Amino acid sequence: MRTPPRLLLAASLLCAAALWPAAAHARGPQPSRPFGLGVELGAPTGLAAKYYLGNRMALQMGVGVIEEWRDSDGLHLHAEMLWHPAILARTPSFTMPFYLGVGGRVLKHDRGYYDRNGNYQYDDDDTHIGVRAPIGLLMDFHNAPLDLFFELALVVDLLHAWDGDYANHHDHDSADINGAIGVRYYF
């Protein structure tokens, strides 16, 4: 059974609203170096960048590949504005803020389909353009210019263009959840 995208979006907004009181007194990560570059593994796998615009706001970007993720493999680009509303843990070694954001993504993939005998049948070139809304946890280390992050992102495709055999085109879901873990070094 497929969960409607509006229900997933409403659940995400309710979670954010529940955390709002705690966010009023929390300070976000305090980066001494605002730009971080690293890698993320999952959906997508590739380069991950983050630029802090202040204590609570940051711009996050990524470019990578998604392979065999719910029948959607190809080049994935994303960029989001992030907000760090609450600190979940603070120790002498690290700070762990919760974050959420909203932005966009583009997924470009092409693939060939094969019949039961392994014979090549046709190409399916797709481009998905949509909204990406990540929520995640971040470990901002105090003794090294590194952070470690884990995030889940709701992806809702608003535009879907294909450039292959229309008669054999298989429609794809318009909403999905992506997940990744990554590390960034701050310059």
For each of the domains in the chain, give its residue range(s) and CATH number, in order of start.
36-186 (2.40.160.20)
The predicted structure's pLDDT at residue 119: 72
Q: Is the dihedral of CA 108, 114, 118, 120 positive or negative?
A: negative
User: Structure pTM?
Assistant: 0.75
Alpha-carbon distance 59 to 152, whole Å? 16
- Report the SS3 class of residue 8: helix
The predicted structure's pLDDT at residue 27: 44
Q: What is the mean pLDDT of residues 47-59?
A: 95
User: Is residue 185 within a helix (H) or strand (E), and if so which, with residue range?
Assistant: strand 175-186
Alpha-carbon distance 41 to 148, whole Å? 12
DSSP state of 105: E
Alpha carbon distances (Å) from 49 to 26, 27, 160, 163, 183: 24, 21, 26, 31, 10
User: Is residue 69 within a helix (H) or strand (E), and if so which, with residue range?
Assistant: strand 57-69
The residue that leads in pLDDT, 89 or 123, is 89
- Report the SS3 class of residue 4: coil
Beta-carbon contacts of 102 under 8 Å, excluding residues fewer than 6 positions away, are: 80, 81, 131, 132, 133
- Average pLDDT score over the chain: 81
The pLDDT tens digits of the residues spanning 2-43 come to 445 555 555 555 444 444 444 433 445 656 789 999 999 999
The predicted structure's pLDDT at residue 114: 64
Residue 154: band (very low, low, confident or very high) from pLDDT cuts 50, 70, 90: very high
Is 50 in contact with 35 (CB distance < 8 Å)?
A: yes
Percent above pLDDT 70 for the chain: 69
Q: What is the mean pLDDT of residues 139-144?
A: 94
Percent above pLDDT 90 for the chain: 56
